Amino acid sequence: PLGEEKGGPLFFAHYSFLGLNPKMIEDKYANYWEQNVAHAMINRNYCLEEAPATYKYDDENWGLTACYGGKPPWEYKARSPLNDDGVIAPTAALASYPYTPFYSTQVLLNLAKNTLMQGTYGFADAYCLSTNTSEKKHLAIDQGPIIVMIENYRSGLIWNLMMKNEHIKLGLS
**pLDDT 10s digits, 83-111:** 999 999 999 999 999 999 999 999 999 99
C-alpha distances out from residue 151 to 59, 108, 146, Å: 23, 14, 9
Q: Which residues contact 23 (CB under 8 A, 6 or more apart)?
A: 33, 159
* Mean pLDDT value across residues 7-30: 95
DSSP 1-29: --SSGGG--GGGGTGGGTTS-GGG-B-SS
User: Crossing angle, helix 140-154 and helix 157-164, to 10 degrees?
Assistant: 90
**pLDDT 10s digits, 106-146:** 999 999 999 888 888 889 999 999 999 888 888 889 999 99
Question: In the chain, what percentage of residues exceed pLDDT 70?
Answer: 100
C-alpha distances out from residue 105 to 48, 61, 133, 150, Å: 16, 11, 22, 10
Q: What stretch of H or E contains 77?
A: strand 77-78
Least-confidence region, from 6-10, 120-124, 148-152, 164-168: 120-124
Q: Which residues contact 105 (CB under 8 A, 6 or more apart)?
A: none
Residue 121 confidence (pLDDT): 86
